[in-house]
């Protein structure tokens, strides 16, 4: 490869300096650049492209596209920030697998909230050099600001890794993070490799054994079921940490999410996958595999009587006008059963004879007079006493114009 010119070296040095790399006072040696980059020029000798020979990694939020956008690994996905309004965006993506592509998903965020992941701090422990705490997330949360009860006499380094450990069992639905010991971790499949997500330093004067806030940069996506590791380290002195003993031999620190957003993933459908609905109503479909409770939309409640093998209906909100609800139930070639639903919060058996194993039932539910009250079509299949039965509910919501 031909030696790079002085102008080429300076061009690459400028490029690297803009992306967080400092070569030092002596600059970059020509042979070093030749091993890393090539340069393309046009007919006038002007640089048109700088090509990295190897994979190039840059710090988070360090690539600027034009004057308006800064690209980053926001929430560990491809994201960007717009300079003119300082808003942050996550690029929608979809996964390609051995079975083909998966429909893209979007995150539906709740209002910002705080939450004590581990609220106890009755024990104080002291560590030297480095201490690690394994975590596994059991909720979907975008975390921004967290609080620890930690004090140091030298600079505290906080590193958060997302590990390659998956397939956990026994997760608590009432806690945001479930603690696993190192012995627990080795029992599970490993996919991928440990990845450093957050690497922050805190001045010793900013630490506090009674609690201090620090910001996760970039924003961190705590994905339900994913494993993480929190590392706290110092160059000198001790790390004083408040928390509690979760087992007789295992200490875990106090951790609070001071600011963040819980979210749910919503899978998008392609246009040709969405049913076309005409007329003056909107339609909602629900599907349940059940043994007891089924559905409650605030207007009606459906439940299943396992002993009698029959569908139960409660009217929670009465329709307007005269008359109430009426249901019609049939099992194909069987007789039709009409039931007038006149009392709120009262249990009605819409087909008292029951739905035996392997049988199916169709039930229509509608208001006698209230035009705005939704109507329902319920399909029931009793798969058998030792199996889950299935219910599909079609809710039709009138559009009043």
pLDDT value at position 182?
45
Predicted local confidence at residue 3, as pLDDT: 54
What 391-394 contacts at long range (C-beta under 8 Å, 24+ apart), as own/partner pairs, is 391/287, 391/288, 391/290, 391/294, 391/295, 391/302, 391/304, 391/311, 392/285, 392/286, 392/287, 392/288, 393/285, 393/286, 393/287, 393/288, 393/294, 393/295, 393/302, 394/283, 394/284, 394/285
Question: Do the beta carbons of residue 374 and residue 399 sit within 8 Å?
Answer: no
Distances (CA, A) of 185 to 133, 165, 251, 366: 12, 7, 16, 53
**Hey, where are the domains in the chain?**
6-52, 113-266, 275-398
d(C-alpha 327, C-alpha 339), whole Å: 5
User: Domain 275-398 classified CATH 3.40.50?
Assistant: no
- Tell me the pLDDT of the chain (401 aa) as tens digits: 345 566 666 666 665 555 545 554 444 554 555 677 777 888 888 878 878 777 777 666 667 776 777 776 666 667 777 777 778 777 766 666 676 666 677 788 889 999 888 899 999 999 999 999 988 776 789 899 999 999 999 999 999 998 875 444 443 333 344 444 444 444 444 556 788 888 999 999 999 999 999 998 888 888 877 788 999 999 999 999 999 998 888 899 999 999 999 988 777 666 555 555 555 666 666 666 554 455 567 788 877 776 777 778 888 888 887 778 888 788 766 778 888 888 888 888 888 888 877 788 888 888 888 888 888 888 888 766 555 667 788 888 887 65
In angstroms, the CA 158 to CA 180 distance is 19
CATH of domain 113-266: 2.60.120
3-state secondary structure 333-356: CCCCEEEEECCECCEEECCCCCCC
Cα–Cα dist 235/1, whole Å = 43
Q: Classify burial at 249, counting beta carbons within 10 Å of its beta carbon; exposed 0-12, middle 13-18, buried 19 or more.
A: exposed
For residue 128, the model assigns a pLDDT of 93
pLDDT computed for residue 246 by the predictor: 84
């Amino acid at each position: 490869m031909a030696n790079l010119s002085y102008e080429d070296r300076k061009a690459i040095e400028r490029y690297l300096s803009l992306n967080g790399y400092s070569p030092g006072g002596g600059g970059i040696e020509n042979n070093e650049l030749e091993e890393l980059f090539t340069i393309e020029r046009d007919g006038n000798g002007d640089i048109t492209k700088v090509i990295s020979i190897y994979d190039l990694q840059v710090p988070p939020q360090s690539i600027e596209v034009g004057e308006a956008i800064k690209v980053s690994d926001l929430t560990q996905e491809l994201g960007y920030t717009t300079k003119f309004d300082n808003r942050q965006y996550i690029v929608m993506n979809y996964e390609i697998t051995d079975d083909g592509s998966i429909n893209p998903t979007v995150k539906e965020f709740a209002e910002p909230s705080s939450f004590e992941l581990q609220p106890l701090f009755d024990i104080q422990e002291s560590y030297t050099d480095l201490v690690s705490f394994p975590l596994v997330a059991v909720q979907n949360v975008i975390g921004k600001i967290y609080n620890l009860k930690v004090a140091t006499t030298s600079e505290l380094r906080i590193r958060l890794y997302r590990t390659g450990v998956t397939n956990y069992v026994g997760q608590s639905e009432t806690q945001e993070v479930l603690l696993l010991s190192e012995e627990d971790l080795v029992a599970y499949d490993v996919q991928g490799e440990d990845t450093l997500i957050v690497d922050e330093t805190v001045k010793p004067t900013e630490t506090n054994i009674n609690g201090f806030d620090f910001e996760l940069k970039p924003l961190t996506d705590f994905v339900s079921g994913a494993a993480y590791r929190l590392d706290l380290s110092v160059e000198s002195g001790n790390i004083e940490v408040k928390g509690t003993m979760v087992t007789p031999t295992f200490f875990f620190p106090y951790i609070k999410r001071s600011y963040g957003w819980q979210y749910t993933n919503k899978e998008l459908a392609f246009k040709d996958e969405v049913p076309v609905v005409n007329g003056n109503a909107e339609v909602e479909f629900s599907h349940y595999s059940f043994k007891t409770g089924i559905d409650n939309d605030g207007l009606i409640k459906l439940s299943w009587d396992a002993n009698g093998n029959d569908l139960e209906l409660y009217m929670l909100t009465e329709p307007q006008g005269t008359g109430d609800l009426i249901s019609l139930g049939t099992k194909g070639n069987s007789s039709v059963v009409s039931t007038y639903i006149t009392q709120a919060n009262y249990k009605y058996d819409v087909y008292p004879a029951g739905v035996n194993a392997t049988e199916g039932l169709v039930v229509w539910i509608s208001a006698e007079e209230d035009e705005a009250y939704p109507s329902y079509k319920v399909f029931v299949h009793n798969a058998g006493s030792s199996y889950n039965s299935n219910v599909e509910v079609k809710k039709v919501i009138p559009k009043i114009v």
